[in-house]
A and B are shown apart, each in its own frame.
Chain A
Amino acid sequence: MERTIFDKIWDGHTIGPPAGETDLVLVDRILLHERTGGVALKSLLARDIPVRDPNHVFAVMDHIVDTFPGRTSETLMPTGKDFIIATREGARAAGIRLFDLDSPDQGIVHVISPELGIVLPGTTLICPDSHTCSQGALGALAWGIGSTEAEHALATSTLRVQRPKRMRLTISGRLALGVTAKDLALALLGRFGVGGAAGHIVEYAGSAVEALDIEQRLTLCNMGTEFAAFSAIIAPDATTVDYVKGRRYAPVGDDWDRAVNDWLALRSDADAIFDIELAFDASDVAPMVTWGTTPQQVVAIDGAVPAADEVGKAMVEGYQRALHYMGLEPGTAMESLKIDAAFIGSCTNSRISDLRRAAAILDGRKVAPGVKAICVPGSSNVKRQAEEEGLHRVFQRAGFEWRESGCSMCFFAGGESFGPQERVVSSTNRNFESRQGPGTRTHLASPETVAASAIAGHIADPRKLEI
């Protein structure tokens, strides 16, 4: 029978014949962070259940760590240190490898995993974090779970999972100059809605996807969870193989050759059946920016806040609430909106290519007076690489703060935050009410748009700036 890439990975990991409606699936890699992983380790320890295979588990500090230079285990979030210490102690007790605050490899879990070659094409990978779907960009089956399921995976190296339905989203054409995978992800959410992929494994395919480098693919797959997907995946190709080669946990020697053979065979068969097939043309996508409080409330940057009769039927609910929360009137041009802050970071857009593109816009320019601008590299490796290239000076000269790596102000955990009613242009993934601070108004966009907006002091189209 013709199978999709998902079916091939799933079938290869299903243990025994299906016992019922859920399958027992082997988990190749488990990632943990201090916010949701520490409690899983603590809970297992309390039940005296050992971690079955500590070698397959990688833990990292990213979510609530301080990102100021010279940081320690102290963090601005009240009781935040407890999460850090619990994770440190839990990892030590279980014999799990931990990329702690002082590790040169510390960083956001979905940034360091591809960077170190932890995620490999064809593997199953889980993490108690919704943005685990990012890692499907490498052709892995990577999905987010809760802490209790993480305990199951730690204890048994397996999960009991219902086989998700399959969706293919074929993206034709090619993104225009100055338009990024972030804009594409936002455009897809605008078109198909935040429930658009409900429970499906989404395969992104087509010429526009094949043309993306791995970091852009990571950005596209990252927002699969905003699409309500089980996860997202992109078939591995030469771009993937080139990216993985030589990374720390990538196979070597004969194993490498065997792996590449296996990986390049991981494509959906020509007649494979998907439960849903969608098509989208990337050619007309413009830089996108959200206006509301869910990522589907999004318009092209040269557009305006929509009127009630312009939003789709599925979006009417919540429209007035969102307008009120965001302090907006219908018909207001997005580019006329003054901003208080600009944030570049998060598992969506904090990799070296993101920082390079933002720096190209910032070079020789200054952040507008009164705008607080922050850049948080996605990993300590990204930060070092950026500093070797001198990018940190570009950011700093422009007026950006240059931080240590972590999830930082993608969300407010009780520590550092943006202020009430402050308008922030952010390269992150969620514009929910109070996500970045109590009452904070978040506009999601690409790093280029964040950089251009920081300079202009209002939401600004990066294509209008000369680089």
Chain B
Amino acid sequence: MEPFTTFTAVAAPLMRDNVDTDAIIPSREIRQVSKSGLADGLFAGWRYLSIGERDPDPAFMLNDPALKNARILVAGENFGCGSSREHAVWALAEYGFQTIIAPSFNPIFRKNCLANGVLPVVLTASIVEPIARGLAAAPGSLLTVNLVEQELQDEVGGCWTFEIDGDEKRALLSGLDPIDLTLTLSDTIAAFRYRDERERSWAYSTLSR
């Protein structure tokens, strides 16, 4: 995973509540046993005029040429609800989104973002909605995301701070692989398991059947 660094980029507003992972990447667009090859299918049901085709629907915001290089998505409540498919985040990341700003996220989707170096920023709806209105009024506007300072800035002097769990922040900034990190604790895990198997033999005894 690449370490997360401060960046400034075009932000795209998608102000619908409860955008589900079926909408982010329809199951029919997941064709390979792979974490890549998904960007084309991102928001396919909304982005293209007909299913299975690739003619862009001009009414969908990502097809606005001004948002061509969008790297930040500003979204509504409960973003990423529904299926746990990590393909939703793989598709967003492959398309280029590095940060998603929303009043709330589905918990599994949020963890999937973190696992792929995508920063989920939670801000109240009273902050997100005016930001999104500004972006819709002036397509192509930029936002700056600074994870170190936990700050979000716009081009006209707006600045907002956001909260994030300390461990999650460190993981994003370091880009270190969590599996490698946990494997360094193998002995601790083994010792815990050894004791646990004696205390809770019932949780282990039938697994070799």
| Distance, CA A145 to CA B20, complexed state (A) | 15
A337 interfacial contact with B, CB 8 Å: no
- On chain A, the residues within 8 Å of B77 by CB distance are 195, 314, 317
Interface segment, A326-334, A356-364, A431-439?
A431-439
Given the contacts A39-B33, A152-B182, A194-B78, A162 and B188 also touching, CB distance less than 8 Å: no
B17 interfacial contact with A, CB 8 Å: yes
- CB interface residues, A 95-134, toward B, < 8 Å: 117, 120, 122-123, 128-130
Asked if A55 and B108 sit within 8 Å, CB to CB, the answer is: no
The interface size bin for chain B is 35 or more
Asked if B189 and A157 sit within 8 Å, CB to CB, the answer is: yes
Given the contacts A26-B192, A199-B107, A411-B27, A21 and B86 also touching, CB distance less than 8 Å: no
A78 interfacial contact with B, CB 8 Å: yes
Asked if A145 and B185 sit within 8 Å, CB to CB, the answer is: no
Asked if A156 and B179 sit within 8 Å, CB to CB, the answer is: yes
Q: Which residue of B lies closest to A251 (CB)?
A: B202
Asked if A144 and B32 sit within 8 Å, CB to CB, the answer is: no
| Distance, CA A155 to CA B186, complexed state (A) | 10
B155 interfacial contact with A, CB 8 Å: no
Interface segment, B57-65, B66-74, B138-146, B165-173?
B165-173
- CB interface residues, B 157-190, toward A, < 8 Å: 165-168, 170, 178-179, 182-183, 185-186, 188-189
- On chain A, the residues within 8 Å of B89 by CB distance are 146
- On chain B, the residues within 8 Å of A314 by CB distance are 17, 77
Interface segment, A209-217, A253-261, A389-397?
A253-261
Asked if B33 and A38 sit within 8 Å, CB to CB, the answer is: yes
Asked if B20 and A49 sit within 8 Å, CB to CB, the answer is: no
- On chain B, the residues within 8 Å of A15 by CB distance are 185, 188-189, 192
- On chain A, the residues within 8 Å of B165 by CB distance are 21-22, 162
Given the contacts A56-B207, A146-B89, A149-B111, A21 and B179 also touching, CB distance less than 8 Å: no
| Distance, CA A199 to CA B109, complexed state (A) | 11
- On chain A, the residues within 8 Å of B51 by CB distance are 434, 438-439
- CB interface residues, A 13-56, toward B, < 8 Å: 15-16, 19-22, 24, 26, 28, 35-36, 38-39, 42-43, 49, 55-56
B153 interfacial contact with A, CB 8 Å: no
Given the contacts A22-B167, A128-B86, A160-B182, A123 and B203 also touching, CB distance less than 8 Å: yes
Q: Which residue of A lies closest to B45 (CB)?
A: A434
Asked if A120 and B193 sit within 8 Å, CB to CB, the answer is: no
Asked if A86 and B202 sit within 8 Å, CB to CB, the answer is: no
Given the contacts A146-B89, A434-B26, A130 and B108 also touching, CB distance less than 8 Å: yes
- CB interface residues, B 106-121, toward A, < 8 Å: 106-108, 111-112, 115-116
A198 interfacial contact with B, CB 8 Å: yes
B5 interfacial contact with A, CB 8 Å: no
Asked if A36 and B209 sit within 8 Å, CB to CB, the answer is: no
Q: Which of B23, B107, B185, B200 contacts A24 (CB 8 A)?
A: B185
B196 interfacial contact with A, CB 8 Å: yes
Binary per-residue interface labels of chain A (248-290) against chain B in the complex, 1 for a CB within 8 Å, 0 otherwise = 1111100110110010000000000000000000000000000
Asked if B33 and A26 sit within 8 Å, CB to CB, the answer is: no
Binary per-residue interface labels of chain A (412-446) against chain B in the complex, 1 for a CB within 8 Å, 0 otherwise = 11100000000000000010111100110000000
| Distance, CA A434 to CA B25, complexed state (A) | 11
B76 interfacial contact with A, CB 8 Å: yes
Asked if B183 and A156 sit within 8 Å, CB to CB, the answer is: yes
- On chain B, the residues within 8 Å of A258 by CB distance are 201-202
- On chain A, the residues within 8 Å of B84 by CB distance are 36, 128-130, 144-146, 225
- CB interface residues, A 289-317, toward B, < 8 Å: 294, 314, 317
Given the contacts A15-B189, A248-B209, A79 and B78 also touching, CB distance less than 8 Å: no
Asked if B16 and A252 sit within 8 Å, CB to CB, the answer is: no
Nearest 9 interchain pairs by C-beta: A259-B202, A146-B86, A414-B28, A251-B202, A146-B112, A148-B115, A130-B84, A438-B51, A255-B202
